Structure 1
Amino acid sequence: MQTKDMTTGSPAGLILRFALPLMLGNVFQQFYTFVDTMVVGQALGVKALAALGAAEWLTFLMFGLVQGLVQGFSLVMARQFGAGDDKGLKKAVAGAVWLSLGAAVLFTALGQLMLRPVLLLLRTPAEIIDLTLIYLRILYASLPVAFAYNLLAALLRALGNSKTPLQAMTLSSFCNIALDLLFVFGFGWGIQGAAAATVLAQLLAACFCFVKLRGSGLFSLGNKEYYPDRDVIKEQLKLGLPMGLQNMITAMGGLIVQSVINGFGVLFIAGYTAANKLYGLLEIAASSYGYAMSTYSGQNMGAARYDRIGKGLRAANLIGAATALLMSAIMVFFGKPVLGCFLTGDSVTVEGAMRIGYHFLLVLAVFFPFLYILYVTRSCIQGMGNSLLPMISSIVQLVMRTGCALLLPALIGESGVFYGEVCAWLGADLLLAFSYFYCMKKLRTAAGPAEI
């Protein structure tokens, strides 16, 4: 099994080489959600597209929680791997497996119970609420699969292996696209078919990662050596819970914004949803640099190479800002053609939704570098073992996003909700900058200036 030591060598080169396979894998992952939305929009019309949009933040609420928890668990694995502690690594894997099993059962049950009441609370339009509900019920039933894939991929990344998750996601993406076309166009299963295709594709990705890890010796959970250690469990919960809550806080802000958007009607939801799909695709590089930075700083913390963390952060932020400017250009120059891929119907409906979506893209494009800086800096701090300050930055995002969404439409109209997104980035960036310097100051105090 391939691993990668990130405690020696050029920080910029290591981060780029680690991030690029992740980026490609995430492109494929986002691409099949892109295709889901495109197939639904073209085959089933604006109402079905709006139903997917109404489901988006509820999907992120639960699956973001899963991803955050597992990412927190994996930081302990990265630290043990960086320190060369094989026994500690096995205990960290065992703890992550048992924690994931328990959380999967709990979240699946809670998710099914909360869906309809929450959709009603969010003022989901009556003409799309049933479509949204059935789509979400299928996805929430697949939470054990989501835990399995995210845990296996996070373990591989903690060991410095970002290529296997890329291969898994590439395979599952093509599978998802084929199943989308078969289930929606071929079998006529509608929005249920799109949900089923996503679940089956993620199951394939999980199986692929497990096969690659099967011979690693990290999953012999019947042996007493692999039983979870109480101290390891506590450390994983200490890191995982704030990171999961961080994503939940982000989702809560999104849900409040979604409730405002739902009040603007199906046409606005459809345009906003179409723009969000392109936004999600162009955000991928940011999350990939974030994963790379998290593993990089985690391994260097484990190896006590504190001097390399700052160098890595500066390199990653420069790479991220340059990438963000390219993504901004794509939104400006190619936004309208991409939006047209999702929208079908009479010319007045399509033109109205297009206008809404493109306005949103222009607002995002101006401020996009700040989003990339947010991902990189937050992940660096998490990799250093502090998940509380990044969680607080998510609270700042929540306050900024929801405050703007609730107040600005009264002042400048419906488009006011667009500015909540960029205000959330700016507020979080400011807090994260102070947080990073605070964490580095603590390291200097503990380790001595010569080691930083």
Structure 2
Amino acid sequence: MSSDKTAHDILNAPVTPLFFKMAMPVILGLLVNGLYNFVDAIFIARAVGTDGIGGVTAAFPIQMILISISAMMGSGVASILSRRLGANKDDEANRVFNASIFLAFSVGLFFSVVVSFFNRDIFILLELPPAIRDYAIEYLHPIALFSVISFCYGTLSDSVRAQGLNNHVFFMMVMSSLLNISLDALFLFVFEWGVAGAAWATVIALSSSCVYAARLILSGKHRIRFYRDYIRPNKAVHKETIALGIPIFMSYAGYGLMLLIVNIAIVMVAQQNAELLISAHGILNRTLMLIFLPILGMMIAFQTFAGFNFGARKLPRIGQGLKVALIVSTLYCLIWTLVMLNIPHYLYVLFSEDQQLVNTAAEISTVVYLLFITAGIAQICPALFQAMGYAKPSAWLNALHTYVLLIPVLWLSVHWWQSEGIWWTFPIIDAIAGIIIAAYTWFFMQQLNIKLQENN
């Protein structure tokens, strides 16, 4: 489907079927792509053991921070591109894209050098248990060394998505995931490279998708293209890109920060069981990430939809799309809430035959998933403001969970309930943040409807 036909559908097709049509390729791609994280953890736990998955869990917050910076730039440029393309300002869109590629390469190269150099010092500073520290260092080194590829791919893939070319996005995710899983099996079970093998599988798979995205844009068949004269620093573009990408950065980095803070809390509160709890939390979060991906796919589809329609000044369609996205995402969250509160063992036994590890992860799940039903609200509503170019409300709504509520609620919960309080932190935060985000978004939409009525 051509870019022009895709843009026409986004602006004119019936909202509900359009939402599913836009969301499903992204969701399927994310699931296939995310499946490698899930399978990756299973392979590591089976090939290396409980301490191996504990080490990867300890390294994952640092990896998430790198991903969050890349996602910030990619999401920011996607927001700008979708609005420029929706307004038929293709030359402006191409200036933005090429300047953003320059930024992604420069920032990625910087972090490749810095994180690779300070890799060991980071984990020594965090005072990780020695049993898992070496695994964490071994896993993070290849990931950090080739961060520049991850950063470039983030901007390339989000630029493809911003054009509504979700089938290509889906293909890139599938290709990367299948290659990653295949290399995981080869490096871990045949070559016996340990956790470093899993990291190298990730690097190689990501590089293949980056090459595909670059060749797609180089083909010249779509509205976004490479222009040598535009590949240079552009302060105005970089400023807007980062401002719009901050909400996604805060969301992704917040997730990494949450994992880091929880790991630190475990080491401080449950010293004797720290390795077990960190490993159990690791397989819980790998499972949560896979479950969460369809919500992220719905958010990405809705953001593209809202950005196009806002650029074309079709504001009533944005409200219709918001309702559809919230209803579908909330129903999805309800299903998984019921599953993870009642039968989480069936997923966790895939990781290990260590019954103590499985039981510990299942016990934690019965608390952590209590209010998972609010996850759709927490993702879709901030995406509305980002799509419309309102960076500040999107940023602070995304900041609620981790940057405003996490530390005080965690401190109080641990003070009252010791190690069990670590897990009760999450449903408490979900409840508070869900109420605030829903109320703020409802008020905003009411004001928007009033303005529409006045204009009519």
Query: Which TM-score applies when normalising by structure 1?
Result: 0.92
Q: Does 1:174 align with 2:178?
A: yes
* Structure-1 separation of matches of 2:101 and 2:79: 14
Shift of 1:298: 0.8
Q: 2:435 aligns with which of 412, 421, 430?
A: 430
Shift of 1:430: 3.1
More divergent stretch after superposition (400-409 vs 27-36): 400-409
Q: Does 1:56 align with 2:60?
A: yes
Go from structure 1 to structure 2 and tell me whether the alpha carbon gap of 1:246 and 1:366 turns closer, same or farther (over 3 Å shift): closer
**Structural mapping, 1:307-326, within 5 Å:** 307-326=316-335
Superposed CA offset, 1:290-329 (max 9, x none): 1111111111111111122121111100000111122223
Tell me how large the CA RMSD over aligned residues is. Answer: 2.3
Shift of 1:368: 1.6
* Structure-1 separation of matches of 2:344 and 2:178: 24
1:411 alignment counterpart = 416
* Structure-1 separation of matches of 2:104 and 2:48: 36
Q: Does 1:142 align with 2:146?
A: yes
1:337 alignment counterpart = 346
Gaps of 5+ in 2: none
User: What is the DSSP-based 3-state SS (H/G/I as helix, E as strand, rest coil) of the residue aligned with 1:7?
Assistant: helix
Shift of 1:242: 4.8
CA contact (8 A) 2:31 2:293 kept: yes
* Structure-2 separation of matches of 1:234 and 1:411: 44
Go from structure 1 to structure 2 and tell me whether the alpha carbon gap of 1:449 and 1:102 turns closer, same or farther (over 3 Å shift): farther
Go from structure 1 to structure 2 and tell me whether the alpha carbon gap of 1:351 and 1:163 turns closer, same or farther (over 3 Å shift): same
Aligned positions, number: 445
* AA aligned opposite 2:197: G
| Structure 1 stretches of at least 4 aligned residues deviating more than 6 Å after TM superposition | none
Go from structure 1 to structure 2 and tell me whether the alpha carbon gap of 1:115 and 1:430 turns closer, same or farther (over 3 Å shift): farther
* Structure-2 separation of matches of 1:120 and 1:440: 48
* Structure-1 separation of matches of 2:297 and 2:370: 21
Q: 2:286 aligns with which of 277, 281, 292?
A: 277
Q: Does 1:221 align with 2:196?
A: no
Shift of 1:386: 1.6
CA contact (8 A) 1:122 1:258 kept: no
Q: Does 1:365 align with 2:374?
A: no
* Structure-2 separation of matches of 1:179 and 1:16: 32
Q: 1:293 aligns with which of 284, 302, 305?
A: 302
Go from structure 1 to structure 2 and tell me whether the alpha carbon gap of 1:210 and 1:451 turns closer, same or farther (over 3 Å shift): farther
Shift of 1:441: 6.5
Q: Does 1:47 align with 2:56?
A: no
Q: 1:30 aligns with which of 34, 53, 57?
A: 34
1:258 alignment counterpart = 263
More divergent stretch after superposition (109-118 vs 41-50): 109-118
Shift of 1:227: 5.7
User: What is the DSSP-based 3-state SS (H/G/I as helix, E as strand, rest coil) of the residue aligned with 2:228?
Assistant: coil
Q: Does 1:244 align with 2:253?
A: no
Q: 2:187 aligns with which of 179, 183, 186?
A: 183
Q: 2:136 aligns with which of 126, 132, 135?
A: 132
* Structure-1 separation of matches of 2:187 and 2:167: 30
1:347 alignment counterpart = none
* AA aligned opposite 2:303: S
Q: 1:376 aligns with which of 371, 377, 380?
A: 380
CA contact (8 A) 1:65 1:245 kept: no
More divergent stretch after superposition (272-281 vs 227-236): 227-236
* AA aligned opposite 1:92: V
Q: 1:393 aligns with which of 389, 397, 407?
A: 397
CA contact (8 A) 2:247 2:386 kept: no
Go from structure 1 to structure 2 and tell me whether the alpha carbon gap of 1:102 and 1:424 turns closer, same or farther (over 3 Å shift): farther
CA contact (8 A) 1:78 1:298 kept: yes
Q: Does 1:402 align with 2:407?
A: yes
* Structure-1 separation of matches of 2:43 and 2:267: 22
CA contact (8 A) 1:261 1:269 kept: yes
User: What is the DSSP-based 3-state SS (H/G/I as helix, E as strand, rest coil) of the residue aligned with 2:225?
Assistant: coil
Query: Which TM-score applies when normalising by structure 2?
Result: 0.91
Gaps of 5+ in 1: 345-349
2:112 alignment counterpart = 108
CA contact (8 A) 1:316 1:376 kept: yes
